[in-house]
Structure 1
Amino acid sequence: MMSEPDIRDQLENHHRASFGWALCCCGRDPLEAENVLQIVYIKILEGKARYDGQSTFKTWLFSVIRRTAAEERRRRILYELRLLKYESAGGRVSPTEGPDQTLYRTEIQTMFQQALASLSARQQSVLQLVFYHDLSVRQAAEVMGLSVGSARIHYERGKKRLREWWEGVRVSHES
């Protein structure tokens, strides 16, 4: 086990590379990378993440950064999903929208939410991450803790079911 001064020296020696890796893990967002790196340093200095010597310090440090970035991304996405759910429950209305347009929009939104709710939990999650949060399928897989192949299957099946639903809605409104 390393002493605290040794750990601080290692962190200082690897800071520049660590920040570069944090940038990669945070989609090149420097503020997010700084935040993640600060959380990593606190975890390490408080003993919540411990170096056991099974790999090089740098390899271990980079894995802590990657996991922390994923945790923070998951936390942010969950927060945004809750916020989105809260905002959609408020039924915001556009000032240029007439009452009939508002009713139609609300009806379609309700139907779409029901269609989305009919999908499996994983299909719902991957579609929400990709469409509402602008993540790639690969990033959604990382957030969800799935393989990329599994996420792609859930994504494609979910899209197919929603497409079939939409075709049904269009046919019923045209008749």
Structure 2
Amino acid sequence: MDELELQAQLEKIHNASYGWAMNCCSRDRNEAMDVLQTAYLKVLQGRAVHKGQSSFKTWFFSVVRYTAAEERRRHWFRRLGLAKFAEEKKTDVFFLEDHSSLDKEEDSKMFHGSFAQLPRRQQEVLHLVFYQNLSLQEASAVMGVSIGSARTHYERGKKNMRKFWSSKVLEF
């Protein structure tokens, strides 16, 4: 595949790739843009090569996923070094009062909050299937797991989301 053809393929799947990068980067826009840029560079510089064993989109999503994992490792090592000098405190408090007063933005925040509580693999497979319209087979290839593992993560993720939402509905 020549460079122009490669660029055309990347442009064609840019929006979906950005959505996948957002998912891989815990919805952090700046980090997602950096990861996507790095993935594009890997492809255009020939450090990641599509060999035709899967669709271009599936292959590129794998490149994005592995690039995001590399970035997480780098950030983790940086934080370890910085931890000697500063104490990090994270406060994740979520209070829910009256469901009838929730608007769409609050519902969206609540959804993303519950989605973020899922284990990483469950988040990945649900994002790939629901937001990127990949089959479970394609999602398993992107994630680098067997189809059986992908099915298990998919079913458990749906079950956990149902459980979370049914408990919130019962509270009201």
Normalised to the residue count of structure 1, the TM-score between the two structures is 0.50
2:82 paired residue number: 83
Give the percent of matched residue pairs that are identical in Structure 1 and Structure 2: 51
1:53 paired residue number: 52
Aligned mates of 1:16, 1:137 — CA distance in 2: 24
1:11 paired residue number: 10
* Alignment root-mean-square deviation, CA: 2.6
Written as runs of structure 1 = structure 2, the 5 A alignment for 1:60-71 is 60-71=59-70
Written as runs of structure 1 = structure 2, the 5 A alignment for 1:1-175 is 2-85=1-84, 87=85, 138-139=119-120
Deviation at 1:138, TM superposition (A): 4.2
Cα deviation per residue 1:79-116 (whole Å; 9 max; x = unaligned)? 1111112x16xxx9xxxxxxxxxxxxxxxxxxxxxxxx
* Aligned residue identity for 1:78: F
* Aligned residue identity for 1:77: W
Q: Which runs of 4+ in 1 moved over 6 A?
A: 134-137
List alignment gaps of at least 5 residues for structure 1: 93-130, 140-175
Gap change, CA 1:137 and 1:71, over 3 Å in 2: farther
Gap change, CA 1:136 and 1:82, over 3 Å in 2: farther
Q: Whose relative contact order is higher, 1 or 2, with alpha carbons under 8 Å and at least 6 apart? A: 2
Deviation at 1:136, TM superposition (A): 7.2
* Aligned residue identity for 2:58: T
List alignment gaps of at least 5 residues for structure 2: 93-115, 121-172
Describe the SS at the equivalent of 2:49. Answer: coil
Gap change, CA 1:5 and 1:38, over 3 Å in 2: same
Aligned length in residues: 96
Deviation at 1:64, TM superposition (A): 0.4
Aligned mates of 2:45, 2:26 — CA distance in 1: 27
Aligned mates of 2:2, 2:25 — CA distance in 1: 30
* Aligned residue identity for 2:44: L
Aligned mates of 2:118, 2:57 — CA distance in 1: 29
Aligned mates of 2:53, 2:24 — CA distance in 1: 23
Aligned mates of 1:45, 1:136 — CA distance in 2: 35
Cα deviation per residue 1:93-144 (whole Å; 9 max; x = unaligned)? xxxxxxxxxxxxxxxxxxxxxxxxxxxxxxxxxxxxxx98x997945xxxxx
Q: Which has more radius of gyration?
A: 1
Aligned mates of 1:60, 1:78 — CA distance in 2: 28
Deviation at 1:40, TM superposition (A): 0.3
